[in-house]
Amino acid sequence: MKLHPILVGACSAMAFVGAARAETVTIATVNNGDMIRMQKLTDDFTAKNPDIELEWVTLEENVLRERVTTDIATQGGQYDVVTIGNYEVPIWAKQSWLEPLTGLPAEYDVDDLLPAIRGGLSVDDTLYAAPFYGESAMIMYRTDLIEKAGLEMPDEPSWEFIGEAARAMTDRDNDISGICLRGKAGWGENMAFLTAMANSFGARWFDENWQPQFDTPEWKEAVQFYVELMNDAGPSGASSNGFNENLTLFQQGKCGMWMDATVAASFVTDPEDSTVAENVDFALFPDAGTGNHGNWLWSWNLAIPATSDAKDAAKAFVAWATSKDYTALVAENEGWAAAPPGTRTSLYENPEYQEAASFAEPTLAAMNAADITKPSVQPVPYTGGQFVAIPEFQSLGTTVGQLFSAALAGQMSVDDALAQAQQVATREMKRGGYN
Amino acid sequence: MATRQTRTLARLMMAPAVVLLLVWMIVPLSMTLWYSFENYNLLNPANRSFAGLLNYQFFYTDPAFWQSIANTLILVVGVLLITVIGGILLAILLNQPIFGQGIVRILVISPFFVMPPVAALVWKNMIMHPGYGVAADIARFVGVEPVDWFAQYPLLSIVIIVAWQWLPFATLILLTALQSLDSEQEEAAEMDGANVVQRFWHLTLPHLARAITVVILIQTIFLLAVYAEILVTTNGGPGYASTNLAFLIYRTALLSYDVGGASAGGVIAVILANILALFLMRAVGRNLD
Amino acid sequence: MARTVSTRHKAIATVAAWFIALLIFFPILYTVVTSFKTEPEAIAGISLIPSGTFENYVEVQAQRDYFKPFMNSVIVSLGSTLIALVIAVPAAWSMAFSPTKRTKDILMWMLSTKMLPAVGVLVPIYLIFRDTGLLDTRLGLTVVLTLVNLPIVVWMLYTYFREIPGEILEAARMDGASLMNEIIHVLTPMALPGIASTMLLNIILAWNESFWTIRLTAAQAAPLTAFIASFSSPQGLFWAKLSAASTLAIAPILIMGWFSQRQLVRGLTFGAVK
């Protein structure tokens, strides 16, 4: 008799499970602001799709990449939607690890995606991932400080000008550095910046025969320029600074200029977090007379692993999260400035967005200036702007990044760092069977 | 009479643990050994083939290899020195009559309960950060240039963080051992006119020998495997300045996704660890009777 | 005279001990303090007085549910500890009371299994887990943590059991006590402190294990170590929020450790005391 209520409870629980047999979609994602916002807005999706249940795995970028790569490469099948960069998409698509995103509904309007972004996510004209947000790189600078230095920022500054301006804006007594740049080692940290910078100096990672090029004058010039500039006009401890650290420095008014991802523009112009929001303006990523502005192009994208057992539900979610409606939903809840940037032409044509986001135009200009199929003025066998889209790059880029970080910290000369980088890259290419 | 029976029983009782650990060791180890002779990159699974000794060759010719071995030793020895010497001093101090002994002891053992990634994050951001860390604040307060710990003293910084985590463990074990020291003996030595240093050297230290051995043995096992603290703080750099063997293998496995290379690294690490263990057992093992 | 010296001695020792203890505890204290600061306060320079906001905790909870990873941590660390004890107690018992020539070697070998770097065997283990359906299950994680910590558990118990004088067992046997009786009435009471502290140490090790717990889990079985990985290095320096998440991740085990400190210490000797 005593068991009775428990039994009834158990039966009804089972009945409930049976009736609401929801399909579960497990989403692996990165813990940046836009993705966290998406998680908070998913009620809209679950209201429209009551039979789909969402499970989240939110991790910091490096752990996420490691987890997702291990799982997809071993066909572990843990995730139905993964958040990956445009670095992984072509590599994984070629291994048939990703489900092609064909048959998206007409209102999704694939043709609205920015061509540069779409091209980076397609293999043989088939789309393998949907962009959530995209970014290029540009100069963010303090209008008040550059004025004080008696200079004026051109629309397309050269490195020479940047060097001069950075030194002129530096004011050590007031703890203001003329320029803040990434120094923390990592293929997605200092090497993203340095690769783009080297591109603009006319350097390239490899020649057409996959021979590493760190022994060329272009690399030497670029790295030498970087180290000297940072020593003269950079903040102390720059070799530990990544995107986050520089963002905070800039927001606190300690940098005259900062060259980094365009996505930072919305943070530095947000008066709630930034003390300098009123005095920020933007310019194109510099060049060294090559007409090449670094070709930085990055996007965070949603893709569906081929091992997923809920592909249709996953596709419905991916379509929702990267749709025009989602952008409108964010705008409605948090204002237009918070809309995920850099993926759709329609966003940049939207007058409301243009008005709310002072950075809309420079962002679009930067993205249009980037061409990941021709990163350098010299011919290359690879694609990718601030990275090289080969599987070996994560490790190689990080190792080279360590060397350049050591050069910045003054523990190694620029020549030694370049020589060792050349040696490491040669070794790694041989290992990978490139030559 | 009962000996044979008990012996059988004893074997049976031991069996589950031994068998489980055997399986846990042999299955992954043999798979690792197998992969170490293969060209096997997770990102290029089509290209799997027999590699001979190529993986080993590539691993030990890695520019970071020798430095990583040196760093591993520096890390292990450095942390051991700090925790053993610091632990002895701290144990002696905590063994004195003091006010609030219970609370003091709780405070001292607390770092042992902190998970390694959290410990690393806290030290990296809140303590050692060159801009906003407490150490930088103090440096500026006394008017010196803040130290950029992870750029200027990368390995030392890691040693400090790891030592902070293990000092409580050493202190606890040494304190327990100290408490079992015969106080009459100590008083007798004091009567004989032995001074503090002499008493410590001839009485306390020999008494602690066994406890010190235990601390060294247990910590060495854990210290050889340190990588999370490095990953969170320096990522092995600048250059290879803070890359140890465990981190080098980590980098090969989860940055290059080179299963073959990481397996070869794993095999090399096991061999080196066992050599070290053998050496350790020779050096200090007799203390364990 | 002697008394004044000892009071002075005590005062000096007290001051020194408190100073060092606070120095060692400072990083933890500062984390907890920072978790109650606002973000600008958190990087504004050293200050031990927060503005007392609970905002960070609210935001952390809103961003990621704390309860599920917390329960996973509890279940997995308790589960693996209990299983390890069930396997290790008989093994350690037989090693301690019926030692053979090879007992020492077996012990050393067990410890040496901990020397294979975890990351070197990640792929083999991942493949095995995939094929057995153990990926992202609490069961799978429990099994791995049991095996990872088993050698330490066996060794700790062995050294503890060895301190139990054999004569007592002999006497019990003389009285005709059966093996069961021997274990229940004679051995267990004497071994309990050792088992208790072994258990506590193992719970701590399992709770803090941060390689397998992150690599073998996704949405279902992820414990607090994975919870932390979802707050470290986002865009911007959110130290106050990170501190709140860190405090949440370490608080349960810290509090358990404080309360069980005496039991932990009593057996945490690894036979270091003769």
Interface pTM, i.e. ipTM: 0.89
Specify the pLDDT at position C104. 79
Residues C215 and C88 in one domain: yes
pLDDT, tens digit (0-9, with 9 covering 90-100), for A160-195:
999 999 999 999 988 899 999 999 889 999 999 999
pLDDT, tens digit (0-9, with 9 covering 90-100), for A89-103:
999 999 999 999 998
pTM for the predicted model, two decimal places? 0.90
Percent of chain C at pLDDT > 70 equals 90
Using CA coordinates, name the residue in chain B closest to C152. Answer: B218
pLDDT, tens digit (0-9, with 9 covering 90-100), for C14-51:
999 999 999 999 999 999 999 999 888 888 878 888 88
Residues C176 and C145 in one domain: yes
Q: Is the pLDDT of residue B2 over 80?
A: no
Per-residue confidence band for B286, with pLDDT thresholds at 50, 70 and 90: low
In a domain, B260, yes or no: no
Q: Is the pLDDT of residue C2 over 50?
A: no
CB proximity under 8 Å: C 50-69 to B: none
Per-residue confidence band for B242, with pLDDT thresholds at 50, 70 and 90: very high
Domain A20-128+298-356 sits in CATH at: 3.40.190.10
Q: Is the pLDDT of residue C89 over 80?
A: yes
Residues C75 and C55 in one domain: no
Of A246-250, A324-328, B24-28, the range with the lowest mean pLDDT is B24-28
pLDDT, tens digit (0-9, with 9 covering 90-100), for C43-69:
887 888 888 889 999 988 888 889 999
In a domain, C274, yes or no: no
Q: What CATH number has the domain bearing residue C220?
A: 1.10.3720.10
What domain range includes position B82?
72-182+190-240
What domain range includes position C238?
65-267
Binary contact (B14, C94; C-beta < 8 A): yes
Residues C101 and C214 in one domain: yes
Q: Is the pLDDT of residue A233 over 80?
A: yes
**Residue ranges of domains in chain A:** 20-128+298-356, 137-296+370-431
Tally of CB atoms within 10 A around A285: 27
Please count the structural domains in chain C. Answer: 2
Specify the pLDDT at position C43. 82
Specify the pLDDT at position A53. 93
In a domain, C272, yes or no: no
Of A38-42, A105-109, A323-327, C167-171, the range with the lowest mean pLDDT is C167-171
Residues C75 and C50 in one domain: no
Q: Is the pLDDT of residue A364 over 70?
A: yes
Using a CB-CB distance cutoff of 8 angstroms, which residues of chain C are in contact with residue A263? Answer: 235
Of A343-352, A405-414, C75-84, C168-177, the range with the lowest mean pLDDT is C168-177
Average pLDDT, chain C: 85
Residues C84 and C175 in one domain: yes
Using CA coordinates, name the residue in chain C closest to A77. Answer: C130
Using a CB-CB distance cutoff of 8 angstroms, which residues of chain C are in contact with residue A74? Answer: 123, 126-127, 130
Nearest-CA distance from C207 to chain A in Å? 19
In a domain, B218, yes or no: yes
| Domain endpoint, select from C59, C84, C99 | C59
Same fold, A20-128+298-356 and A137-296+370-431: yes
In a domain, C236, yes or no: yes
Most confident of A220-229, B193-202, C81-90: A220-229
Give the residue-averaged pLDDT of B21-41: 87
Most confident of A28-42, C90-104, C152-166: A28-42
Higher pLDDT, C230 or A130: A130
pLDDT, tens digit (0-9, with 9 covering 90-100), for B117-132:
999 999 998 899 888 8
In a domain, B15, yes or no: no
- Domain boundaries A137-296+370-431, CATH class: alpha beta
Q: Is the pLDDT of residue A3 over 60?
A: no
In a domain, B27, yes or no: no
Binary contact (B105, C261; C-beta < 8 A): yes
Using a CB-CB distance cutoff of 8 angstroms, which residues of chain A are in contact with residue C60? Answer: none
CB proximity under 8 Å: A 184-243 to B: 184-186, 235-237, 239-240
In a domain, B34, yes or no: no
Give the residue-averaged pLDDT of B215-224: 88
Residues C48 and C160 in one domain: no
- A109 and A103 in contact (C-beta within 8 Å)? no
In a domain, C227, yes or no: yes
Q: Which 3-state string (H, E, C) describes chain A?
A: CCCHHHHHHHHHHHHHHHHCCCEEEEEEEECCHHHHHHHHCCHHHHHHCCCEEEEEEEECHHHHHHHHHHHHHCCCCCCCEEEEECCHHHHHHHCCCECCCCCCCHHHCHHHECHHHHHHCEECCEECCEEEEEECEEEEEEHHHHHHCCCCCCCCCEHHHHHHHHHHHCEHHHCEEEEECCCCCCCCCHHHHHHHHHHHCCCCCECCCCCECCCCHHHHHHHHHHHHHHHHHCCCCHHHCCHHHHHHHHHCCCEEEEEEECCHHHHHCCCCCCCCHHHEEEEECCECCCCCCCCCCEEEEEECECCCCCHHHHHHHHHHHCCHHHHHHHHHHHCHHHCCCCCEHHHHHCHHHHHHCCCHHHHHHHHHHCCCCCCCCCCCCCCCCCCCCCCCHHHHHHHHHHHHHHHHCCCCCHHHHHHHHHHHHHHHHHHCCCC
Give the residue-averaged pLDDT of A204-226: 96
Residues C112 and C221 in one domain: yes
Please count the structural domains in chain B. Answer: 1
Q: What CATH number has the domain bearing residue B89?
A: 1.10.3720.10
In a domain, C273, yes or no: no
**From B146, B251, B256, residue closest to A392, measured CB to CB:** B256
In a domain, B43, yes or no: no
Q: Is the pLDDT of residue B38 over 80?
A: yes
> Which of B40, B121, B140, B256 to probe by mutation at the A interface, max A CB count within 10 Å?
B256
